[in-house]
Amino acid sequence: GQQVMQIPQYQHVQEGEDFTTYCNSSTTLSNIQWYKQRPGGHPVFLIQLVKSGEVKKQKRLTFQFGEAKKNSSLHITATQTTDVGTYFCAGVRDTGNQFYFGTGTSLTVIP
């Protein structure tokens, strides 16, 4: 079964609005990565989070790793049309050595 769940599955926003996607795991993760896949493209690495409670920022993107290391979020401030795509989280279980990709959140930005 799916190890890592993401919500929402789809999100439509007006350009300039904020966007958040959430990633939840049933087990503790040693680290989590986020990827972005543009329509027709392939996943591209965005960031990795390792520490409990870690927060990292990349311009308008803010990534958080939960205190219990079972969840993570990606928040985009003031979305732009270039943000369109599907955002995936990928987690590694504490006892594992492979990634479990989340189900992805498809973001549409309406100009």
Partner 1 sequence: KAGVTQTPRYLIKTRGQQVTLSCSPISGHRSVSWYQQTPGQGLQFLFEYFSETQRNKGNFPGRFSGRQFSNSRSEMNVSTLELGDSALYLCASSLVSAVNTQYFGPGTRLTVL
* Structure-token pair, residue 53: 């409670």
- Please tell me whether residue 101 adopts helix, strand or coil conformation: strand
User: Partners of 43 in the beta sheet?
Assistant: none
Q: Which of 19, 22, 23, 43 binds partner 1 (CB under 8 A)?
A: 43
Q: Which of 14, 82, 95, 97 binds partner 1 (CB under 8 A)?
A: 97
Q: Is residue 108 within the footprint of partner 1 (CB under 8 A)?
A: no
The beta strands (E) that lie in 1-111 are given as 4-7, 10-14, 19-25, 29-37, 44-49, 55-58, 61-65, 71-76, 85-93, 99-101, 105-110
Q: Which of 63, 99, 107, 109 binds partner 1 (CB under 8 A)?
A: 99
In the bound state with partner 1, the residue whose beta carbon lies nearer, of 65 and 88, is 88
What does the binding site for partner 1 look like in residue numbers (CB under 8 A)? 2, 30-31, 33, 35, 41-45, 48, 88, 90, 92, 97-104
